[in-house]
Amino acid sequence: MKLESYVGGQWRAGDGHARAFINPTTGEALGEVVDGGFDIAEALNFAREKGTTALSSMSFAERGNLLRGIADVLTANREKYGEIARLNSGNTAGDAAIDIDGGIATLKVYARYGKTLGDAHALMEPGQDQLAKEPVFFARHVWTTRPGVALQINAFNFPSWGLWEKVSTALLSGVASVAKPASATAWLSHEMVRDVIAADILPAGALSLVCGSGAGLADHLGAMDSLAFTGSADTGLKLRSGERLLESGARVTIEADSVNATILGPDAAPGTAVFDLAVREAVKALTVKAGQLCTNIRRILVPAQHRAAFEEAVAAKLDQIVVGDPALETVRMGPLVDLKQRDAALRGIEALKSEASVIRGGDIGQAEGADAQKGAFLLPTLLRCDDPGGARIVHETEVFGPCATVMAYEHADDAVRLAAKGGGSLAVSLFSDDVAVQAQMVAGLAPWHGRLLVIDEMVWKNHTGHSIVMPQCVHGGPGRAGGGEELGGLRGLRFHMQRSAIQGSPGLFEALQSDAVEANL
């Protein structure tokens, strides 16, 4: 199997360097991703001139219908995607659901936004400002579609969700997408895009897919284009500092790696519901998708007096986790995505061990129904750092796998300071049943985090989890996390639309309103 790119309205075979993608459970090769086979500038031009032109002439409601159509095609083929996720990503059924159903759900949420926005083509912010003494000259802020293309480069861990969450906001804004999945797991993105293209529901150029190297793609962007990148901080830095990209003036958003924390509140003693909920969330962090989520918990901050009880509770649950072939019903955790990632995770654990000791895991271990040496397996790994205030590596190293470090704190303020030592993160969670503590800690944590999940006994049955990105909420974090922002309901459209201050007379605004809908972005 060789994956092709879909550009310029055609499937094209690559003609350059080939890279194998594997089944991480067995280590066997499944197929190849081949670089090149098309002209980048032409591919982007086609998307811009055909795709964006067609999409931007449609109303929000019509674009919403397209998103609904994509979701329906994917739903009809859901079973096949689960199988690909198991074979190529080592996903259990639960892991695959997060990626695949998460992608479909996001498309549906944006389809509904489209319906709500209706027949308009532009968005108008509520309210106007009077700019002169006479009430004849006003300003209003209006959002219009940028006539460019959205280049979307994704990480390997979400070949479905990463693809569709980016396409959802671009398409609803009226902008064509050129998506580039990570080579290790491009098969699922490829299959999904093939099904959507075959269903013939999108205008030509609205969706392109590049399988193979992403090198040089961003060099051909122009002033009205954008680059949304998800991946490692290193690649993000390389891309965002590219000379041609800087010169172009294209918009750039980066979702990079992040050393996220969870905090057991000072009041969350053993025996309380919030303590048990925090234990459950920590175990999920160490097992779901083999820990390969960008928002995942990497640091666990616990009150010093509860540290031992917390560690024991988590370790007892980890002892029951069966790692192995995700096809087996008894298996709770599959392998990492490939041997490169497994080895990178092992190296990361070694680095953490200079400041932390291993409580559980730390090596490859045994794999149920598979050869642990051939597959990309790694045991759920829990570490403890005894001097988190003086430590650096545990706050700065993201082990992209099933690994987290427990750290004790004395006072709520210390926990806030320790969380901030991550240098800016995508998500932090707090388990506390004391609203005053919650509010105080949220105020300190917020500037350093893109999303804060606060769990008390009231939300416990309803909360969506530390790592799950909801399309209604912004996804992205400051500093180390890349400084980007995606999704967030209608806020996600800002990246693909231009806000202009329109200054004029009331008559102009009345005329503009015939094709614009009021929306608060």
Which residues contribute to the site for ligand NAP (CB under 6 A)?
153-158, 180, 182-184, 213-215, 217, 230-232, 235, 238-239, 255-257, 294, 398, 400, 426
Q: Minimum distance from CB of 158 to ligand NAP (Å)?
A: 6
Nearer to ligand NAP, 454 or 469 (CB): 469
Q: Minimum distance from CB of 162 to ligand NAP (Å)?
A: 7
Q: Which residues contact 181 (CB under 8 A, 6 or more apart)?
A: 154, 156, 159, 162, 163, 188, 189, 190, 209, 211
* Nearest C-alpha neighbor of 149 from the set 286, 8, 288: 8
Are 483 and 450 in contact, with CB atoms under 8 Å apart?
no
Nearer to ligand NAP, 193 or 441 (CB): 193
* Nearest C-alpha neighbor of 50 from the set 187, 207, 214: 207
| 255: annotated active-site residue | yes
Q: Minimum distance from CB of 95 to ligand NAP (Å)?
A: 14
Q: How far apart, in whole angstroms, are the C-alpha atoms of residue 259 and residue 397?
A: 7
Q: Minimum distance from CB of 349 to ligand NAP (Å)?
A: 15
Structure token digits, residue 231: 């991946």
| 473: annotated active-site residue | no
Q: Minimum distance from CB of 365 to ligand NAP (Å)?
A: 23
User: In degrees rounded to 5, what are phi and psi of residue 504?
Assistant: 180, -165
Are 328 and 433 in contact, with CB atoms under 8 Å apart?
no
Q: Which residues contact 137 (CB under 8 A, 6 or more apart)?
A: 130, 131, 503, 504, 505
The secondary structure element, H or E, covering residue 501 is strand 497-504
Q: Minimum distance from CB of 117 to ligand NAP (Å)?
A: 26
Nearer to ligand NAP, 307 or 466 (CB): 466
Nearer to ligand NAP, 235 or 438 (CB): 235
- The DSSP bridge pattern shows strands 129-130 and 138-145 to be antiparallel
Listed in order, strand segments (DSSP E) in 79-224 are 122-124, 129-130, 138-145, 149-153, 176-180, 207-209
Nearer to ligand NAP, 294 or 346 (CB): 294
**Catalytic residue (choose from 4, 165, 255, 281):** 255
| Concatenated DSSP letters of 439-466 | HHHHHHHGGGEEEEEEE-TTTTTT---S
Please list the active-site residues.
255, 294
